[in-house]
Structures are given as C-alpha cells and as structure tokens.
Amino acid sequence: MPVLRALDPAALSGLIDSGTNSVDAYEAFLRAQDITFGGENDNGQAALEQYRRAQTLDPGWSRAHITAAEHILLGLSVSSTASIIDADRAALSAEFNRNIDAAARTSRNANERDTALHLRHYFNGDLNAALRVITRVTQNNPEDVSSWRIKGGVEYLLNRHDAAAASFARASALEPERPHLNINGLYDARAYEEAAAMHDAAPSNRRNSMLFVYQSHRALLAVGRIEDAGRLAREMDNYEKIRELRALVDIRQACSEGDRERAEEIAAMMFEWPNSTWQALMHLGRTEEAVEVMRPFDFAEAPYPLLDLLAYPFFDPRPYPNLMAVMERQNIPVPDRFFFNPPACPPAKVGTQ
C-alpha cells in the first residue's frame, strides 16, 4: 500500500506496539495527534474527526477509542481552546461514554480496561470510584509512573493532600527526568516546600523549558522566595513563549511584589483559555467576574471541569449548583477557608478597578 511506504521505521514500530494492524487507522490516529500537539490545537473538531476515522477503520483498537475519549475530555475542560467546547455537550458526553465502553470491550489486558474505567468515573464526577480503580492499577503495576500521577490527582481533588503528595513523590522517584510534572503534582498537593526543593534539585539539563519555569515559579512564590521567583521569571525570555503561561507568571510576580498596577496591565490582554482568565481575575480580586467565567462549565453531563478547580486553594465551589451536588454525593467538603498561594494582589485603591 502506498501509505505504508510513507511511514518511517519509527512510525511502523509505533503501529506494531499500539495494538492495531490497520495502517490506515494508525495514519488517521497520527494525523489527530499532529493536529492536537503539533500547533493546530485550536482545531479540536478536526482532530476529533480523525480519531473517529481511526475508530471506524479499526473498531477493535482499544487505544483509538480511549484516545478519542481523552480528546473529548480535554476539549470540554476549562484549559482548552479546542473548538469542540462549543459543541453539544450532552452529545459529546454520550460519545465519550460510548468510547469508554468500546475501549473496555476491546482492551488487551486488565490495565487497559482499568484505565478506561477510571476515565469514565472521573468524567462523570465519581472520584471515589476513580480512585479505587486507579489504586488497583498502581498495585498491579507499581512501576507505572503515569498511574501514580493520576492517583495523586484524584487524591488531591478528594482533599487527601498527604496521600496525593505521597503519590507524586512516588512518581518523582520513578521519573525524575520530568521535574516540571513532579513539581506541579507536589504543588497541587499543597506540598509547597517539597515542590520548591524539587526545583532546587532539578539538574541543569532539565530546567530549560517554559513548563519547568512556570511550575517552579509558583512553587518558589508559595514559600516566599519572591526574588528567586523573579529571577526565574526573567529566564522565560530564553524559551519559546506560551503567551498565557507567561502572562500568569508575570501577574503572580507582580502581585507578590505588591505591584497591582502592573498586574492589571498584564491582565488586560485577551486570554484564550478560560482557566487563565479566571486565575487572572481571582488574583486581582475581581471575584464576581471570575465566577461568571466558569459558570458555563457547571453542566451536569460532565462535572469534571469544575472539579479540577478544587486543586486551587482559592476556588470557591458554592456558586455552582451542579458541582455542589457532585461534591455532596462524593463527600467532598467545602473548604473551611480559601487562600492564595502565591499571594493575590493588594486591593485596588478606592475609585479604581
């Protein structure tokens, strides 16, 4: 087949390992990956169509089903600009669950099946069930680093921060060469000192990325190392810029230094990610506006987007009735207090915004 010759040896090896014998299905899968991760991530619908094509070409390929489900999950999240966020959420939620059914049905082993089941529980807001499943995966596959990170993520959403920190520490030990992921996990688990220490210990050849700077910067601010964080923020000029991450770093730095005017100027940019807009408004104390940014994500069909915001210690879930219903079912307590770490900006002067 002509397409077979178009695949290089590495791609052919990936095809064999992926679980499909269909070159056409694998080619569609790779095209979807290129759209998603190759600079076209503003076109989520186009990527979804390619995932659907891969599923149709090889209905027995579990990875195609689960990756299509993951794409829908990403596209409905608060951190996505993918065009599928404007689609029919109920229809996409139903498609997600069909994909998970297909992934579980065609899975090659228990680990693949449990990964699919975990995603279903997480998508539908059943975090306790998700934790049971992903814990089983870590028990059966204790060297599977991604499962430890997933487990930690579910634990901190359930307000089990010590357990989350332990899971992320395990992931860090298994994969120390990805410090930005390890720092992020410890920060979300509110293990701020450990996150900052991991920044300090990161080898020089693993520090040269925007994502490392972004995660390390907020960890340093969280432990009061404002000058160190400022020096790190200036290093972002050396790397390919992710505009919204750079803006959030600069807003946090300005707020930590008490420079509200500078933070307001940065926040005036047009953010594309709802999560970035929300964070900027929250740091500036514009809470009512921030609440409205997230209100469209309070939908019953897939409650996970707002559940993810529980990672932020300043997120108040009470304005969102669907989210509150999920938290009640899952026995997730509303925090006794909300706080900023890194710190928020000082209040605006009277008569100013």
Buried b (16+ CB within 10 A) or exposed e, 15-29: beebbbebbbbbbbb
In a domain, 218, yes or no: no
In a domain, 350, yes or no: yes
What's the rounded mean pLDDT across residues 329-337? 93
Out of 1-5, 6-10, 32-36, 70-74, the most confident range is: 70-74
The predicted pLDDT at position 41 comes to: 46
d(CA 161, CA 294): 24
In a domain, 69, yes or no: yes
Q: Which domain holds residue 326?
A: 272-353
Interval 254-284: pLDDT, tens? 999 999 999 999 999 878 888 999 999 999 9
- End of a domain among 55, 89, 108? 108
Predicted confidence (pLDDT) at residue 335 exceeds the cutoff of 60: yes
In a domain, 142, yes or no: no
Identify the three-state secondary structure at position 35. helix
Instruction: Tell me the pTM.
Output: 0.86
- End of a domain among 108, 131, 154? 108
In a domain, 9, yes or no: yes
- End of a domain among 108, 138, 167? 108
Tokens (6 digits) for 350? 């009277």
* Residues of the chain by 3-state class (helix, strand, coil), percent to 5: 70, 0, 30
The predicted pLDDT at position 13 comes to: 60
Question: Hey, what's the torsion of the CAs at 199, 204, 206, 210, to 10 degrees?
Answer: 70
- What DSSP state is assigned to residue 225? -
Q: How high is the mean pLDDT of the chain?
A: 88
- Provide the number of structural domains found in the chain: 2
More confident residue, 7 or 248: 248
Percent of the chain's residues with pLDDT above 70: 90
The predicted pLDDT at position 4 comes to: 44
The predicted pLDDT at position 207 comes to: 83
Interval 186-236: pLDDT, tens? 999 999 999 999 999 998 888 888 889 999 999 999 999 999 999 999 888
d(CA 131, CA 238): 39
- What DSSP state is assigned to residue 346? P
d(CA 183, CA 75): 25
The predicted pLDDT at position 42 comes to: 55
Give me the numbers of helices (H) and strands (E) for the chain, helices first please: 20, 0
In a domain, 253, yes or no: no
Interval 143-181: pLDDT, tens? 999 999 999 999 999 999 999 999 999 999 999 999 999
